Amino acid sequence: MSIFRLDGKRALVTGANTGIGQAIALGLAEAGAHVLAAGRSSCDETVARIAKQGGSAEAVTLDLADPAAAAARLGDFGDLDILVNNAGIIRRADTVDYSEADWDDVMDVNLKAVFLLCQAFAKAAIARGQGGRIVNIASLLSFQGGIRVPAYTASKHGVAGLTKILANEWAASGINVNAVAPGYIATNNTEALRADPARSADILGRIPAGRWGEPNDIAGAVTFLCAPAANYVTGAILNVDGGWLAR
């Protein structure tokens, strides 16, 4: 079997209804995994696209706004070999005006839910003695400060640190924990930036690759980290940013 194949593996991808999460789900399915496409809103379109390309998938509802309840449901989905924590939210405001409610909402989905899902996944994987793969979706704001997004920046710095400590603790149990940090990707979330000629030009001017990333760029990196090709990769944060951070 190819070291880049995932045949026989079961993968849960959160936030798989659109954008990067949808691309990750499609990529894992194309590599042979059975994908559980999870989201608060319907992932039926993602499942239909996977079926059209000859893959195997099912849609599941998972609301990460209640992290403990979401983690408690992980056992309902059967044995999982792969967990991709992609779902995330962002709230923008000047930091002096940032509300506690917005802070809590972002931290619950972006960090607390990631921790609890990882914990539930690892407990089951260790009990089975079969190992597994976790890929968390970090951000350029795992390394930079940004502006007007204090909770998002804090949460994504947290994802980077959490990825490393979990890798340290679980590597001996055969669970590889890594993260992918996307750069500027052409999705619905960046549509306004791309539609602003001046802002888009500023962004492109700093990206050595000279283009916006595509969701498939992230899907390829995640698929690699889940595949046998990455057996000795753990605790890594893979920047997929066209060279943005190297600039």
Tell me which residues are annotated as active site. 152
From CA 129, how far away is CA 77, in angstroms rounded? Answer: 18
